[in-house]
Amino acid sequence: MTVTVLAILETDFIPQKNLARVMNDRLERAARDLEQLHLKSLQGKGFSTDDLIVYLSYNPKYKVRFLVVNDVPADIEYFVNELCGRLGYLQWKTSLIKSIESLD
């Protein structure tokens, strides 16, 4: 399985310039750690050849949020949700996801 974690540096709000630099560095480090340390076990043999793509960003209250972007098996998505929850990250809720869930 190929694991990719992307730090989305553009947000819905605009922090001060000095704060933005610190926040962006922190977010990039969190994305790198999530990909290379925490999700490294998913890159081993025995997993499907699917890709796992996770976005990390900030919400307006400066909390890190995450979103699994592509379709992955339910157990992999559950693992990522639990892991990110233990790391203190919030699940990223968007209007697109809400509209898709309402169709189900």
pTM above 0.85, yes or no: no
Q: Where are the domains of the chain?
A: 2-103
Specify the long-range contacts of residues 37-43, CB closer than 8 Å, at least 24 apart: 38/83, 38/87, 39/3, 39/5, 39/80, 39/83, 40/3, 42/1, 42/3, 42/76, 42/79, 43/1, 43/2, 43/3
pLDDT in tens, 23-82: 889 999 999 999 999 999 888 766 667 789 999 998 888 899 999 998 888 989 999 999
